[in-house]
Amino acid sequence: MKNKFLDNADVLMYNLCIMKGVQVMTQEKIDRINELARKSKTVGLTDAEKAEQTELRNEYRRAVTGNLAASLENTYIMTPDGKKRKVTKKGG
């Protein structure tokens, strides 16, 4: 059985993510998303479970897009002449 307590490195990483505004999706929430998906395919979901599933999926989407945006903010492209160019939004 997996230890549910975070070790010091996990706590530091979690706090760093929060400080930088990165969304953190816990494994428990991801497991619940998967559990609801399996249940919806077999026996179906109650209205309350459908609402929970929608909320969790939206939170997951926000976390993924937020983390991608945070990663791209720290991404540079090396040009052939050796210069670094920061990645920017299209038109920006």
For domain 23-64, give the CATH superfamily: Helix hairpin bin (1.10.287.540)
Note the Cα 41 to chain centre separation in Å.
24
Mean pLDDT of 11-37: 78
How far is residue 85's CA from residue 92's CA, in Å, rounded to a whole number? 13
Q: What is the pLDDT of residues 50-66, one digit of tens each?
A: 999 999 999 999 999 88
pTM of the model: 0.66
1 band by pLDDT with thresholds 50, 70 and 90: very low
How far is residue 17's CA from residue 10's CA, in Å, rounded to a whole number? 10
- Please give the structure tokens belonging to residue 40: 């919806």
Neighbours of 60 (CB within 10 A): 15
Higher per-residue confidence, 17 vs 41: 41
